[in-house]
Structure 1
Amino acid sequence: MTSEQAGERFRLAYVPGATPGKWAAVWRERLPDVELELVQVEAADVPATLGSGDADAAIGRLPVDKEVYSAIPLYEETPVVCVSRDHLLAALADDETVTSADIADDPVWVPGDDVLFADRPVPGTVPAGPDGTPLERVATTADAVATVAANVGVAVLPMSLARLHRRKDVTYRVLVDGPTAPVGLVWPTERTTDLVEELIGIVRGRTVNSSRGRGAPAAAEKVGRGRGASKGEDKKAGHSAAAAQRDGRGKQARGAKGRGRGAAQRGSGPRSGSTGQKKGKRR
């Protein structure tokens, strides 16, 4: 039974801000018989999603529990400060950066789904009411950006989330001394299958010939057939070239023989003519 007949599929979860499209395209090219299903989940839900089997692997935030999961770091996201268009920092050029000292007096909104400050100090001040009482956290990153738009504080986010929740009344600048947000491929260690190996090869940029996953044997066979065909074509071309060369030599020999006969005939013409002239004189 083929993979297609069995309805086999591989489920890849990804967190907001991650863009698995380029890897998905390579997967579908190499493993067309195995459906790749992309499932977006919140960063905090990745362990539960993998643990329940609702996904086979995930593009998620690091670190993870190394006793349960394996992970391959992919990249680290740059932190940015999101501010209202009316904030002083918005006057900076797009390529200018800021430091934590630049927002030391600003209330910093940390959303409930924050991925930067779990074990790091938050720059700035804690948002508080008129009486100084700390305000409750906003629930989501989208809520934090909406609050920033009202120019009542700032938010520090990974750049991908700032872009995901972009608004016309909010801009951002890179925070050079802020915490980065590492992203990696994560999967349960005990479920390291050949399809997981295939995905590892894809995200690491391996070619089909160097892949360790399921696509490797098929790719090697395809390459082998291609090499066999090339050898056959080269052999055929060699025979054709040799035959052409022999045919060319034959044509040259026949041409030379023909030219020899023509010369002989042309040589006999003048001699006959001379004889005739001599006979005419005798008459």
Structure 2
Amino acid sequence: MPGPPSGPAVPAVPETLFLSTIPGASPSKWVDRFTSRERRVQLVNHDVGGQVAFLAPGPGGSAPRGLPQLGYLRWRLDSSPEQLLTAAGVDPADVHVVRFYEEDPVVCVGQDHLLAAWDVEADGPVPAAELDTAEVMDPARFAPEPPADPLDAPEVPGSGERMAVEIVATGAGHVVLPASVARMFGRKDVVVLPLARDAAHPGWAVGLAWLRTVDSQLVQDFIGAAKGRRPGSSRNDHLRDGTSGTTPAGRPRAASGTARSGQAGSSGSARASGPSGKSGKSGKGSKGGRRR
């Protein structure tokens, strides 16, 4: 009998991981480790206000379609991912969270602002007491409503942070941001100064989260790439490591190959994603006396 017809091999359709990102996130290194001819990543750029949308319960108790399967979360260090999820109406017991790194707070002011003369080398980070609470520009004031569908992205991701930085560039007020976000939306006419960590501005933690119901080899392989895990390592490593990403004392645990502060600029987009922010060099404060 004749054998099966010969012909060119049909290429395999690559598996696609949908990854929800936030301003300041830099998944490119992890994506490069993860992708191959069989796997690719589609980024969905979300604002911080919509970062939990892909974890929100839908019909049947799981997120609609289970997409994105994985995403970034950022929360204040005086809080926890469990508190962030609970406030958004998500049961923390339904979610795996792996904590990766911390981010320092910075304050952005225009070149004509009094704080622009702050001498970091002489006086160190700016104390929160030096900030006029009446001058604060909260990015949440300028951010649009989060999309109802987690596969949709804002027309201009990070527009709240962009607008806050544009306003302070005129010399009006100040905005406190994670260092990576300040780098992402940096401008030559904006001075970025380190802010002392205290109760008012403790900094942030950043991690990856996914619903237990959509856990898969694809998700575990990406987590492994983010941790620097070797290909073929057990997908259950996260269970031995502890999915909360905290030490018994509650302190953050940095994963292998991660830094204390996140890197600026996420790339890629999804269905309705707008352009990502351009990274820019921040201005430096002039050598002058501290504000009295």
TM-score class, shorter: 0.5 to 0.7
Higher Cα radius of gyration: 1
Q: Which residue of 1 aligns with 2:19?
A: 12
Q: Aligned pair 1:77/2:103, yes or no?
A: yes
Instruction: Provide closer, same or farther for how the CA distance between residues 201 and 183 of structure 1 changes in structure 2, counting only shifts above 3 A.
Output: same
How far has the Cα of 1:169 moved from its partner? 1.2
How far has the Cα of 1:99 moved from its partner? 0.7
Q: Aligned pair 1:110/2:138, yes or no?
A: yes
Q: Percent identity?
A: 34
CA distance in 2, matches of 1:143, 1:107: 15
RMSD: 2.6
Q: What amino acid is aligned across from residue 130 of structure 2 in structure 1?
A: D
Instruction: Provide closer, same or farther for how the CA distance between residues 105 and 12 of structure 1 changes in structure 2, counting only shifts above 3 A.
Output: closer
Q: Is the 8 A contact 1:79 1:180 kept in 2?
A: yes
CA distance in 1, matches of 2:71, 2:142: 18
Q: Aligned pair 1:155/2:175, yes or no?
A: yes
What's the TM-score once normalised by structure 2's chain length?
0.58
Instruction: Provide closer, same or farther for how the CA distance between residues 24 and 81 of structure 1 changes in structure 2, counting only shifts above 3 A.
Output: same
Structural mapping, 1:1-283, within 5 Å: 5-28=12-35, 31-50=36-55, 51-52=63-64, 53-62=66-75, 63=81, 64-65=84-85, 66-93=92-119, 96-104=124-132, 107-112=135-140, 140-176=160-196, 177=198, 178-212=201-235
Q: Is the 8 A contact 2:104 2:203 kept in 1?
A: yes
Q: Is the 8 A contact 1:4 1:34 kept in 2?
A: no
Q: Give the number of aligned pairs.
A: 187
**SS at 2:38 equivalent:** coil
Q: Is the 8 A contact 1:158 1:180 kept in 2?
A: yes
CA distance in 2, matches of 1:27, 1:151: 43
How far has the Cα of 1:113 moved from its partner? 6.7
What's the TM-score once normalised by structure 1's chain length?
0.60
Q: Is the 8 A contact 2:13 2:38 kept in 1?
A: no
Instruction: Provide closer, same or farther for how the CA distance between residues 198 and 103 of structure 1 changes in structure 2, counting only shifts above 3 A.
Output: same
Q: Is the 8 A contact 2:99 2:206 kept in 1?
A: yes
- CA offsets per residue over residues 164-185 of structure 1, 9 Å max, x none? 1111111111111322121111
Q: Which has the higher contact order (CA 8 A, sep 6+)?
A: 2
Instruction: Provide closer, same or farther for how the CA distance between residues 40 and 157 of structure 1 changes in structure 2, counting only shifts above 3 A.
Output: same
Instruction: Provide closer, same or farther for how the CA distance between residues 106 and 88 of structure 1 changes in structure 2, counting only shifts above 3 A.
Output: farther
Q: Is the 8 A contact 1:106 1:154 kept in 2?
A: no
Instruction: Provide closer, same or farther for how the CA distance between residues 147 and 192 of structure 1 changes in structure 2, counting only shifts above 3 A.
Output: same
Instruction: Provide closer, same or farther for how the CA distance between residues 208 and 113 of structure 1 changes in structure 2, counting only shifts above 3 A.
Output: farther
Q: What amino acid is aligned across from residue 32 of structure 1 in structure 2?
A: R
Q: Is the 8 A contact 1:84 1:171 kept in 2?
A: yes
- Structure 1 window deviating more from structure 2 (183-192 vs 41-50): it is 41-50
CA distance in 2, matches of 1:147, 1:187: 35
Extract unaligned runs of 5+ from structure 2: 1-8, 56-62, 76-80, 86-91, 144-158, 237-292
Q: Which structure has greater helix proportion?
A: 1
How far has the Cα of 1:93 moved from its partner? 4.0
Q: What amino acid is aligned across from residue 181 of structure 1 in structure 2?
A: W
How far has the Cα of 1:32 moved from its partner? 2.9
Extract unaligned runs of 5+ from structure 1: 116-138, 214-283
How far has the Cα of 1:193 moved from its partner? 0.6
How far has the Cα of 1:197 moved from its partner? 1.1
How far has the Cα of 1:68 moved from its partner? 2.8
Q: What amino acid is aligned across from residue 146 of structure 1 in structure 2?
A: E
Q: Which residue of 1 aligns with 2:147?
A: none
- CA offsets per residue over residues 101-140 of structure 1, 9 Å max, x none? 111465111121799xxxxxxxxxxxxxxxxxxxxxxx71
How far has the Cα of 1:49 moved from its partner? 3.0
How far has the Cα of 1:79 moved from its partner? 0.5
CA distance in 1, matches of 2:115, 2:52: 37
Instruction: Provide closer, same or farther for how the CA distance between residues 102 and 4 of structure 1 changes in structure 2, counting only shifts above 3 A.
Output: farther
